[in-house]
Amino acid sequence: MSPRARLALLAAAGLALLPGAAATLGGLPAFGSRIAEYGARINALVPGERHVANMVSAINFDLRGLDTLGEEFMLLAAITGTVVLLRGRRGEGMTDRAMRRPGRAVRPQTEAVVLACRVAGVLTALFGLYVVLHATVTPGGGFQGGVILASATLLVYLGEGYVGWRDAVRSHWLDAMEGGGALLFALCGLVPMLVGAAFLQNVLPLGTFRDLFSGGLMLVENLGVALAVTGGFTQLFLEFMEETRAADGPEEPGEDSA
């Protein structure tokens, strides 16, 4: 299919979906309107029943934990499919050398850029850890924190160049994080069944309301999501960057900064 035909198909699909999107947006409640009955019941029951202050985490990891487990494996399947497609042409080989485009000068980063990325990378990683660890206390969780942690690795790439980034990032580590995180979430459902409880039933101490370690099994599920999301998104970054690298030939000066 030609690029023009793809754009025409995209425009037609957008026009077909536009009425539904407009109807959905028009049906949303006004800002500041009364909380729906479902939300009101969650706010009334969950703090006492589950000892968590973040209702979104309670829904994701407890009330509708099975839905979240399905979403986790959807993410795993999507990233696996992307990796398979990208590696289908170039194979499993990896390189840490940047490709030099003809006529395009590659300039090394300035000291100011390197320093800014190093400082921002550390702060971004710390903020990502904060969001992950406070999943049951304040807004956030493994999904949001995992994306922030993955974004911190891009700041390493911008500051240190591709070679420096690859020295710190290993593909097999990312595979283990992504698959291990999804497995950990699945085990949170299967292990309670071994002691006679229901699938994903909370069998751990719930802790104290508004405490960092409240929520019991939700903390383990949140950790599994954080590992899977961090590893999965960083794996995507790595695979897309590999598409711009030269596999063979002598390395040219300045290539490691591309």
The pLDDT of residue 244 is 65
Q: How far apart are the two ends of the chain, measured CA to CA in Å?
A: 32
For residue 225, give the nearest of 71, 51, 50 by alpha carbon. Answer: 71
Q: Which amino acid is at 9?
A: L
**3-class state of residue 227 by DSSP:** helix
Tell me the average pLDDT across 73-87.
88
> What does the pLDDT read at residue 18?
95
List Cβ neighbours of 178 (8 Å cut-off, separation of 6 or more): 76, 79, 227, 228, 231, 232, 235
Cα–Cα distance for residue pair 87/83, rounded to 1 Å: 6
pLDDT at 95: 56
The pLDDT value recorded for residue 131 is 95
- Please give the average per-residue pLDDT across 170-196, as a whole number: 92
Task: Find residue 98's DSSP bridge partners.
Answer: 245
Q: Rounded to 5 degrees, what are φ and ψ at 163?
A: -65, -45
Q: What is the CA radius of gyration of the chain?
A: 22
Question: Token pair of 154, please?
Answer: 């891009």
Helix (H), strand (E) counts: the chain: 8, 0
CA atoms 215, 220, 221, 225: torsion sign: positive
Mean pLDDT on 11-28 = 94
| Cβ 228 vs Cβ 145: under 8 Å | no
Q: pTM value?
A: 0.79
Q: What are 105-135's pLDDT values in tens digits?
A: 667 778 998 999 999 999 999 999 999 999 9
Those residues with Cβ within 8 angstroms of residue 45's Cβ, 6 or more apart along the chain or in another chain = none
And the tokens for 201? 């039933």
Give the confidence band of 31 by pLDDT, cuts at 50, 70, 90: confident
